[in-house]
C-alpha cells in the first residue's frame, strides 16, 4: 500500500505539469497570432530600430531564455540604462552585468507607497537598473507588493474602466514578469495572464507607452515558452 502511494504521486505531478505545459503552449500560440491586435503597426513602428526585432521575437516559436542564474548573486550592476537592460532581457539578449557582494539598502514600502506615481516609477527604475535584481531573494517584499498592487488596486481600476497610470502599471508588469522568469513562481505568471486576458479596449490604453508594452509582451512570450514550471 505504501509503495503504491509513493509511486502514484509522481504520476499525478507529471500529469499536472503536462496540463500546465499544454495550457501555456496554447496561450503562446494564441499570442503569436494575436499580438498585432495589441500592438498595431503604428504602435510597432514607433519603436524605431527595435520594431523589426520585436516583430520577429513575438512571431516565432522558440522565444525563450533561462534567466534563473541571476538568483545565485547578491546583486547585479549594469552600465546600461534601465530601458536598455529591460529591452535586452525581453528580447532574450545577453546583458553586461557585474556581480556585487552588496546591494542597496532595503526599500521602505510604507514610505514608497506614499510617494507620487512618477516618484515611485523613478525609484523602481533606479533600484532595478539591472531588472534581474527584482528576482533576487532580498527583493521578495518589493515583488510581493508590486504583485499585490497589480492584482488589487490596478486590477480594480482596469475592470471598472477608470483612469489609471499606464506607465506605472506596465512597469510593474515588466518587473513582475522578470521575477517570474527567475523564481518560476506561478502567482507572478498568473498576474500577466490576467492582464493579457483583459478586454482589448482596456489593453488598448497601454499603447501610449509602446516600449513598455512591447517588453511586457516579449517577457510574457518567454514565460509561456519556459520548459519548467
The string of pLDDT tens digits covering residues 138-158 is: 999 999 999 999 999 999 998
Domain ranges of the chain: 2-225
Whether the Cβ atoms of residue 207 and residue 213 lie closer than 8 Å to each other: yes
Please tell me the pTM assigned to this model: 0.91
**Look-up of cell digits 520585436:** 54
* 59-118 pLDDT, tens digit each: 986 777 899 999 999 999 999 999 999 999 999 998 999 999 999 999 999 999 999 999
Question: For the segment 26-47, what is each residue's pLDDT rounded down to a tens digit?
Answer: 999 999 999 999 999 999 999 9
As a whole number of angstroms, the distance between CA 147 and CA 177 comes to 10
Q: Does residue 124 carry a pLDDT above 90?
A: yes
The residue that leads in pLDDT, 170 or 11, is: 170
Q: How far is the C-alpha of 212 from the C-alpha of 224, rounded, in Å?
A: 18
- More confidently predicted of 41 and 14: 41
pLDDT in tens, 176-227: 999 999 999 999 999 999 999 988 888 888 999 999 999 999 999 999 999 8
Q: Do the Cβ atoms of 71 and 135 come closer than 8 Å?
A: yes
CA dihedral 211, 216, 218, 221 (to 10 degrees): -160
Amino acid at each position: 500500500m505504501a509503495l503504491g502511494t509513493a509511486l502514484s504521486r509522481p504520476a499525478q505531478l507529471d500529469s499536472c505539469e503536462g496540463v500546465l505545459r499544454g495550457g501555456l503552449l496554447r496561450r503562446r500560440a494564441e499570442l503569436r497570432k494575436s499580438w498585432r491586435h495589441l500592438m498595431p503597426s503604428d504602435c510597432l513602428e514607433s519603436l524605431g530600430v527595435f520594431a523589426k526585432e520585436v516583430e520577429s521575437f513575438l512571431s516565432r516559436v522558440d522565444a525563450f531564455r533561462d534567466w534563473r542564474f541571476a538568483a545565485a548573486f547578491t546583486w547585479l550592476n549594469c552600465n546600461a540604462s534601465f530601458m536598455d537592460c529591460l529591452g535586452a532581457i525581453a528580447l532574450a539578449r545577453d546583458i553586461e552585468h557585474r556581480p556585487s557582494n552588496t546591494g542597496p539598502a532595503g526599500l521602505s514600502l510604507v514610505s514608497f507607497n506614499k510617494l507620487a506615481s512618477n516618484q515611485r516609477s523613478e525609484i523602481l527604475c533606479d533600484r532595478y537598473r539591472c531588472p534581474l535584481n527584482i528576482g533576487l531573494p532580498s527583493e521578495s517584499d518589493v515583488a510581493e507588493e508590486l504583485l499585490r498592487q497589480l492584482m488589487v488596486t490596478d486590477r480594480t481600476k482596469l475592470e471598472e474602466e477608470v483612469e489609471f497610470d499606464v506607465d506605472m502599471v506596465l512597469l510593474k508588469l515588466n518587473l513582475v514578469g522578470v521575477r517570474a522568469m527567475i523564481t518560476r513562481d506561478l502567482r507572478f505568471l498568473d498576474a500577466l495572464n490576467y492582464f493579457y486576458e483583459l478586454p482589448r479596449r482596456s489593453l488598448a490604453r497601454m499603447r501610449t507607452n509602446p516600449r513598455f508594452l512591447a517588453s511586457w509582451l516579449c517577457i510574457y512570450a518567454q514565460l509561456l515558452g519556459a520548459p519548467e514550471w
